[in-house]
Chain A
Amino acid sequence: MQIFYSIDGNEGEFVVCYNPNRVWNPVRVEGKAFLLGIFQINCMLFLQVKYLVAKEVKLEMRNKYALGGILLYVVSTIFVSYLSFKQIINPATWNALFWIILLFASINGVAKSFLNETRGKLLYLYTLVSPQAVILSKIIYNSLLLIVLSGLCLFVYSVFIGNIIQDLSLFLLTLLLGSIGFSSLLTMVSAIASKTSNNFTLMAILSFPIMVPLLMVLIKLSRNAIDGLENWDLNYLMVLVFLNIIIIALSYLLFRYLWRD
């Protein structure tokens, strides 16, 4: 089996062949062969990502306490808010509380994606797969996790605090895009924070300010959904999609500089 990588993108045409006998030999490839190489890189990337996501899911299923802990965190936070607020009718308060709960739950849920990885395990991964595959698989896995998490959050929240959403489909769309955005941003920040000494505190400090643009758009859209505006605000939706694409593209491009130790 041969796996093709382009290294660093500096030279562009340099492709590294990964041999079964584990020798890294850079080969200059041009023209058709280069295009073929790019195609193979993408194929391999897809396969690697698929494999890594399956691995993450398998690991999570093997140790259900972590997942259960995060889900319980959401439920108990909502229950505590229920005990102090009872029912919330004011849309602004309802919206703010919902997103604050989801924000903290997401940070807790995603933080472990890199902070809990042992150095040896990461080193092993890095000898086998490309860095892009690692970050993409983590983003996809965390997106799945956050979609489940936000779905549960919405369900429990509307049961206890009350459901005042008038346009559920827009709210669900916002929640879906928000989960993807949160997961990609937090995965990247978690990768950055895992390189420092006091990583859990830093995770919060680093992620809050850069999450604000995303959060503002989400809050605006979900407020529209709660108020049940007749026309969807396509400008904000477009900004949200655009933000997701930018965050994922940046993670894809920048992650390889993080893992080189």
Chain B
Amino acid sequence: MKKNWWKIIAVLFVLYTIIAGFLFKVPAQPILHETIRNLYFHVPMWFSMMTILFVSLWHSIKGLSNSNIESDIVASQAAHTGMLVGALGLITGSLWAKYTWGAWWVADTKLNGAAITMLIYLAYFVLRGSIDEEQKRARIAAVYNIFAYVMLIVFLMILPRLSDSLHPGNGGNPGFNQYDLDSNMRLVFYPAVIGWILLTVWIFTLRVRLEKIKRKTLIDE
């Protein structure tokens, strides 16, 4: 129980996010209206994705330096979990875009970044699938993961700063901090971010355990 306190926090915070996110008062804004509540679900997904992809990168670097197969399992499962939250982020974002911008998909640097992230990690899984030997796969996938993550950071962090975006806080659009003058939204938003990140990490640890059991039973057979 002592080790699992953060799982309890994750459940409580996510529950709070769902209840408070749908019931609490939000600023009335034109165009956005009630869809402003999507802030508690859409934005934390990207935070969780970047966190878990960073975990993946970290274990890839570790795997290269100690050539331990466990780091490879952790890195690949982190990437899988990252794709899961990334897909959720795309779905919530797409719904939001339909209501506020009028289309499921628009030409925007951040949307391109999300799409490229998915493509890069799908390519990573294809690369993993095409190498049979375990040690070799671990090493080569780690090299690609590091290479891809750095290019991704450039794409997600630097390029959007150089061009306009439809997203709040970019290209002259007001950010959410300007709508949320009495800080009511922050009361839900910050727990939401922590809750979703912790939940993602929990899913990731479960995946790692499952994968280890799978490999173990394979060896036993």
Report the minimum CB–CB distance from A260 to chain B (whole Å).
Answer: 7
On whether the beta carbons of A236 and B162 are closer than 8 Å, the reply is yes
Residues of chain B with a CB closer than 8 A to A209's CB: 116, 119-120, 123, 148
The docked-state distance in angstroms from the alpha carbon of A242 to that of B159 is: 12
| A10 on the B face (CB < 8 A) | yes
Residues of chain A with a CB closer than 8 A to B143's CB: 192, 254, 257-258
The interface-forming segment of B48-56, B74-82, B86-94, B125-133 is B125-133
A: residues with CB less than 8 A from B are 10, 188, 192, 195-198, 202, 205-206, 208-210, 212-214, 216-217, 220, 235-236, 239, 242-243, 246-247, 250, 254, 257-258, 260-261
Report the minimum CB–CB distance from B86 to chain A (whole Å).
Answer: 13
Residues of chain B with a CB closer than 8 A to A205's CB: 123, 126-127
A195-B140, A257-B64 known; A212+B155 contact, CB < 8 A: yes
| B142 on the A face (CB < 8 A) | yes
Q: Considering residues A197, A206, A213, A216, which has the most beta carbons from chain B within 10 angstroms of its beta carbon?
A: A213
Residues of chain B with a CB closer than 8 A to A208's CB: 119, 123
B131 in complex: contacting residue of A196, A217, A247, CB < 8 Å: A196
Residues of chain A with a CB closer than 8 A to B162's CB: 235-236, 239
Between A and B, how many residue pairs show CB distances below 8 Å? Answer: 82
| B208 on the A face (CB < 8 A) | no
| B16 on the A face (CB < 8 A) | no
Residues of chain A with a CB closer than 8 A to B159's CB: 213, 216-217, 239
On whether the beta carbons of B151 and A202 are closer than 8 Å, the reply is no
Residues of chain B with a CB closer than 8 A to A210's CB: 120, 147-148, 151-152
The docked-state distance in angstroms from the alpha carbon of A257 to that of B65 is: 9
Q: Scan B135-167; emit 1 where CB is below 8 A from any A CB, else 0.
A: 010011011101110111011001100110000
- In this complex, how many residues of chain B approach chain A with their Cβ under 8 Å: the count is 30
Main secondary structure, interface of A, reads: helix
Residues of chain B with a CB closer than 8 A to A258's CB: 139-140, 143
Seed contacts A196-B127, A205-B127, A206-B127; 11 additional CB < 8 Å A-B pairs = A196-B130, A209-B120, A209-B123, A209-B148, A213-B116, A216-B112, A235-B162, A242-B154, A250-B150, A254-B146, A257-B142
The docked-state distance in angstroms from the alpha carbon of A210 to that of B64 is: 21
The docked-state distance in angstroms from the alpha carbon of A198 to that of B152 is: 25
Q: Which partner residue on chain B sits nearest A208 by CB separation?
A: B119
The docked-state distance in angstroms from the alpha carbon of A214 to that of B126 is: 22
On whether the beta carbons of B136 and A192 are closer than 8 Å, the reply is no
A-B complex: 6 closest residue pairs judged by Cβ atoms: A209-B119, A213-B155, A209-B120, A196-B130, A210-B151, A254-B143
On whether the beta carbons of A195 and B151 are closer than 8 Å, the reply is no
On whether the beta carbons of B127 and A10 are closer than 8 Å, the reply is no
What are 18 A-B contacts with C-beta separation under 8 Å? Answer: A10-B65, A188-B147, A195-B136, A196-B127, A198-B130, A202-B130, A209-B116, A209-B123, A209-B148, A210-B120, A210-B152, A212-B116, A212-B155, A213-B151, A220-B163, A235-B162, A246-B154, A250-B147
